[in-house]
Structure 1
Amino acid sequence: MSGISRRQLGKGALAAGVTIMVSGEARAEDHFDVVVVGGGFGGATAAKYIRRIDPSLSVALVEQKRVFYSCPFSNLVLGGLKSMDEIGHGYKTLTQKWGVEVIHKRASRINVANKRIRLAGGQILTYDKAILSPGIDLRLDAIPGYDKAALGLMPHGWKAGPQTRDLRERLLAMDDGGLVIISPPTNPFRCPPGPYERASMIAHYLKTNKPKSKILILDPKPKFSKEALFKQAWDALYPGMIEHLSAADDGEVVRVDANTLELESAFGEIHRGDVVNFIPPNIAGVIAGNSGLTNKDGWCPVDPVTFESTVAADVHIIGDAAIAGEMPKSGFSANSQGKIAAINVVAALTGRAPTEGSFANTCYSLIAPDYGISVAKVYRSTSDGIVGVDGSGGLSPMDANADFRAAEAAYAEGWYQAITQDMFG
Structure 2
Amino acid sequence: MTTPTFSRRRLLTAAASGAAAFALPHIARAQTRGRVAVIGGGFGGATAARYIKQFDPSVEVTLIDRDASYITCPFSNYVLGGIRQIDDITHRRTPLQQRYGVRLVQAEAAAIDAAQKRVRLRDGNQVNYDRLVVAPGIELKYDGVPGWSEQAANTVMPHAWKAGPQTLLLRRQLESMADGGTVIVCPPANPFRCPPGPYERVSMIAWYLKTHKPKSKILVLDAKDAFSKQGLFMPGWESQYPGMITWIAGKDGGRVESVDPKAMTVTTGFGKEKGAVINVIPPQSAGRIALDAGLAEANGWCAVEPDSFASKKARDVYVLGDASIAGAMPKSGTAANSQAKVVAANVVASLRGSTPPAAVFHNTCYSLVTPDYGISVTDTYRVGPNGVAAVPNAGGVSPAKADAAHRKAEAEHTAGWYAGIIADSFG
Q: TM-score, normalised to structure 2's length?
A: 0.91
Instruction: Report if aligned partners of 1:43, 1:132 keep a CA contact under 8 Å in 2.
Output: yes
Q: How many equivalent residue pairs?
A: 396
CA contact (8 A) 1:155 1:163 kept: yes
Give the match for residue 188 of structure 1.
191
Tell me the secondary structure at the aligned position of residue 43 of structure 2. Answer: coil
Kindly name which structure, 1 or 2, has the bigger radius of gyration based on alpha carbons: 1
AA at the equivalent of 1:231: M
Matched, 1:306 2:308: yes
SS of structure 2 residue aligned to 1:414? helix
What is the aligned partner in structure 2 of residue 16 from structure 1?
none
- Per the alignment, residue 169 of structure 1 pairs with 172
> Does residue 341 in structure 1 map to residue 339 in structure 2?
no
The residue number in structure 1 matching 2:225 is 222
Give the superposition deviation at 1:394. 1.4
Shift of 1:148: 1.8
Hey, what's the Cα distance between the residues in 1 that align with 2:358 and 2:297? 24
Pick aligned residue for 1:414 from 409, 413, 416:
416
Which among 205, 210, 214 is matched to residue 211 of structure 1? 214
Deviation at 1:383, TM superposition (A): 5.0
Residue identity in the other structure for 2:212: N
Q: Does 1:253 align with 2:252?
A: no
SS in 2 for 1:232: helix
Alignment map for 1:35-114 (pairs within 5 Å)? 35-114=37-116
State the superposition RMSD in angstroms.
1.2
Q: CA deviation at 1:254?
A: 1.1
Match of 1:242 in 2: 245
Which residue identity does 1:344 align to in structure 2?
A: N
C-alpha distance in structure 1 between counterparts of 2:345 and 2:72, whole Å: 24
Is contact 1:93–1:424 with CA below 8 Å preserved after alignment?
yes
- For residues 11-69 of structure 1, what are the alpha-carbon distances to aligned partners after superposition, in whole Å with 9 as ceiling and x for unaligned? 8xxxxxxxxxxxxxxxxxxxx61000000010000000000000000000001111101
Aligned-partner Cα distance in 1 for 2:421–2:150: 33
Q: Give the secondary structure class of the aligned counterpart of 2:129.
A: strand
In the superposition, the TM-score normalised over structure 1's length comes to 0.92
| Amino acid across the alignment from 2:395 | G
What's the counterpart of residue 142 of structure 2? Answer: 140
Amino acid across the alignment from 1:313: R
SS in 2 for 1:97: helix
Displacement of 1:134: 0.5
- Write the letter of the residue equivalent to 1:95: Q
In the other structure, the counterpart of 1:281 is: 283
Q: CA separation in 2, counterparts of 1:108 and 1:275?
A: 35
Gaps of 5+ in 2: 1-30
Q: Which amino acid in 1 is paired with 2:402?
A: A
SS at match of 2:100: coil
Q: For 1:134 and 1:177, locate their aligned partners in 2 and report how far apart those are by CA, in whole Å.
A: 40
- Partner residue in 2 for 1:263: 266
Indicate yes or no: 2:204 matched with 1:201: yes
- Matches of 1:247 and 1:185, distance apart in 2: 10
> What residue number does 2:404 align with?
402
Helix, strand or coil at the partner of 1:348: helix
Residue from 353, 360, 363 that aligns with 2:362:
360
Q: C-alpha displacement at 1:381, in angstroms?
A: 2.1
**Range moving further from structure 2, 137-146 or 316-325:** 137-146
Q: Which amino acid aligns with 2:265?
A: E
**Higher relative CO (CA 8 A, sep ≥ 6), structure 1 or 2?**
2
Give distance in 2, aligned partners of 1:99 and 1:59. Answer: 8
Distance, in Å, in 1 between the alignment partners of 2:331 and 2:123 is 32
Q: Distance in 1 between matches of 2:385 and 2:110?
A: 32
CA distance in 1, matches of 2:259, 2:126: 41
Quote the offset at 1:356 in angstroms: 2.3
- Deviation of 1:379 after TM superposition, in Å, equals 0.4
Which among 365, 379, 382 is matched to residue 380 of structure 1?
Answer: 382
Poorly superposed stretches of 4+, deviation over 3 Å: none
Shift of residue 424, structure 1, vs aligned partner: 1.2
Gapped regions of structure 1 (runs ≥ 5): 1-6, 12-31
How far 1:260 moved relative to its partner?
Answer: 1.6
Give the Cα separation in 1 of the matches to 2:148 and 2:252.
Answer: 22
Could you tell me how far apart the structure 2 residues matched to 1:336 and 1:380 are?
Answer: 12
Counterpart Cα distance in 2 of 1:337 and 1:86: 25
